Amino acid sequence: MPIIFFFLLFFSVHSQEDTPIARFRRYLQFNTAHPNPNYADPISFLVSQANSIGLQSQTLELTPSKPVLLLTWPASDPSLHSVLFNSHLDSVPAEPSKWSHPPFAATLTPDGKIYARGAQDDKCIAMQYLEAIRNLKARGFIPLRTVHISYVPDEEIGGFDGSAKFVTSREFEDLNVGFVLDEGQASTGDEFRVFYADRSPWGLKIKASGAPGHGSRMYDNGAMENLMKSVEVITKFRESQFDVIKAGEAMNSEVVSVNPVYLKAGIPSPSGFVMNVQPSEAEAGFDLRLPPTVDPDLIKRRIAEEWGPARRNMTYEIIEKGPIRDYMGRPLMTVTNNSNPWWPVFKQAIEAVGGKLSRPEILASTTDARFMRERGIPTLGFSPMTNTPILLHDHNEFLKDTVYLRGIEVYESIISSLSSFKGKSH
């Protein structure tokens, strides 16, 4: 009797380790959070999964210690443009004390929630790509177009040592990519969300200077006074963007967001700051996000003339964190109508499994998709999560097992449809 018990126990554990959910949880358990993401172990795991289903694998180290993993499913007609499915390896940090479960334990609760940093952003799609291909291969499906999967580092810190270098490499050129799917976001409703553009991030530092003086004096053009005037002007612009959203004239991601992130001024003292001295310098930092529909030159002119004007003894620095136009000077957007031959194929693939797309959106934040679009490659952001709270970068990030499994089915339809597309891709 004990021998039978241990045999059943071993068989049960072994079976659990060989399921899509078990494999997803294993991938989630790799701590890939900044500032010291572990890339080596998850790549070894992904290569082992690729080997188990007969995919080719190649690891590129375009930046030391920051590998790009490329998996390939060869086509029956390699002359056609390929399709690329991208995800990033890294995660943002997590504060374990703020979580109900350890963020890298991938705890599966009785109600089917899998708690882990990266469960939504974006380790789910990383494994769903593989599971979908596993199922397609088991059915004997052969792609007409080559299918590539890329796993890139450093997306969460800008992607400059990841996708930015990957898309300009000779290895990427050799892929002959015609269409890319990258990450999206969860939907709280029944419809899948799809994103045709990202907002471009800028960092803005504004510094004011002025003569120092006694705290009791009232005089013009002090550093703090000038900075406060700028903050007031910026706040009014920020409110104007809110008014557009509230009026229903634009979605949140379709306006220019401006958020203050730091303020630096004053003379430190043991008790805090010296209160009777007006400082000679004051500085503030802002996070700006520009939709591709906005002319960046107009924003730069506004900053120069209104937000940080030299006439008020002010200087400023704009830190552009990535491209805002493609190689031909066009806004970084992918067309979502029939003039883009990939769009109806993608849309029909969703509908074929009973899904529905909501109105295409501009992503409020920023992904590696911008580097693909910069090369002129049609790129959509998409993560098949419906009826799910949006928890990327939040405490207690989770994804339900049923939502994850449904996503595999969706990708089976997408991968088979896109890789079977016979029409002209450009």
Tokens for 115? 């708690």
Q: Is the pLDDT score of 10 beyond 60?
A: no
User: How is residue 380 annotated by DSSP?
Assistant: E
**What does the alpha-carbon distance between residue 192 and residue 356 come to, in Å, rounded to a whole number?**
6
Residues in contact with 87: Cβ distance below 8 Å, sequence separation at least 6, in sequence order: 122, 123, 125, 126, 129, 149, 150, 151, 152, 182, 183
Q: What pLDDT does residue 425 have? A: 72
Give phi and psi for 276, each to the nearest 5.
-110, 20
Q: What is the mean pLDDT of residues 118-124?
A: 98
Q: Determine the pLDDT at residue 394.
A: 97
Is residue 6 over pLDDT 90? no
pLDDT recorded at residue 215: 79
Beta-bridged to residue 282, according to DSSP, are: 208, 265
183 has binding-site annotation: yes
Instruction: Give residue-wise pLDDT tens across range 182-204.
Output: 999 999 999 999 999 999 999 99
Is residue 34 annotated as involved in ligand binding? no
Catalytic residue, from 155, 161, 368, 401: name it: 155
pLDDT at 218 over 90: no
- pLDDT tens-place string over residues 342-385: 999 999 999 999 999 999 999 999 999 999 999 999 999 999 99
User: What are 368's two structure tokens?
Assistant: 């590696």
**Distance (Å) of CA 267 to CA 107, 108, 279, 312, 403:** 48, 51, 7, 21, 53
pTM for the complete prediction? 0.90
252 or 28, higher pLDDT: 28
Which pLDDT belongs to residue 22? 98
Regarding beta strands 194-198 and 268-269, do their DSSP bridges make them parallel or antiparallel, or are they unpaired? unpaired
* Residue 130 pLDDT: 98
pLDDT digits (tens, 9 = 90+) for 236-280: 999 999 999 999 999 999 999 999 999 999 889 898 888 988 899
Report the run of H or E that residue 187 belongs to, with start and end: none
Q: Is there a shared CATH topology between the 2-198+331-419 domain and the 200-290+294-320 domain?
A: no
Q: Determine whether the annotation assigns residue 156 to a binding site.
A: yes
Distance CA 294, CA 104 (A): 39
Q: What is the pLDDT of residue 5?
A: 44
Question: Known catalytic residue: 243?
Answer: no
Q: Tell me the mean pLDDT in the region 136-153.
A: 98
∠ CA 124-129-131, rounded to 5°: 90
pLDDT at 65: 96
Task: Report which of residues 340 and 222 the model is more confident about.
Answer: 340
Query: Can you give the pLDDT at residue 426?
Result: 62
> Where would I find the beta strands (DSSP E) of 163-321?
177-182, 194-198, 200-209, 213-214, 257-265, 268-269, 272-273, 277-278, 281-290, 314-320
Say which DSSP state 143 is in.
-
Which position among 90, 283, 374, 412 bears the catalytic label?
90
Where are the chain's structural domains? Answer: 2-198+331-419, 200-290+294-320
pLDDT one-digit tens code per residue, 315-346: 999 999 999 998 888 999 999 999 999 999 99
pLDDT at 11 over 80: no
Residue 15, pLDDT score: 42
Give the per-residue pLDDT at 16: 53
Architecture of domain 200-290+294-320 in CATH? 2-Layer Sandwich (3.30)
Cβ atoms of residues 89 and 153 within 8 Å = yes
Residue 161 among the catalytic residues: no
Which DSSP letter does residue 98 get? Answer: G
Q: Name the band, by pLDDT with cuts 50, 70 and 90, for residue 127.
A: very high
Tell me which range, 16-20, 70-74, 220-224, is most confidently predicted by mean pLDDT: 70-74
Write down the pLDDT at residue 18.
Answer: 87
Q: How confident is the model at residue 13 (pLDDT cuts 50, 70, 90)?
A: very low
- The first and second tokens of residue 278, run together, are 């007006």
CA-angle at 307, arms to 301 and 313, nearest 5°: 105
According to CATH, the topology of domain 2-198+331-419 is Aminopeptidase (3.40.630)
DSSP 3-state helix, strand, coil percentages of the chain (rounded to 5)?
35, 25, 40
- pLDDT higher than threshold 50 for residue 302: yes
Q: pLDDT category, 217, cuts 50, 70, 90?
A: confident
pLDDT mean over 120-131: 98
Q: Residue 335's closest CA among 383, 292, 384?
A: 292
pLDDT at 390: 97
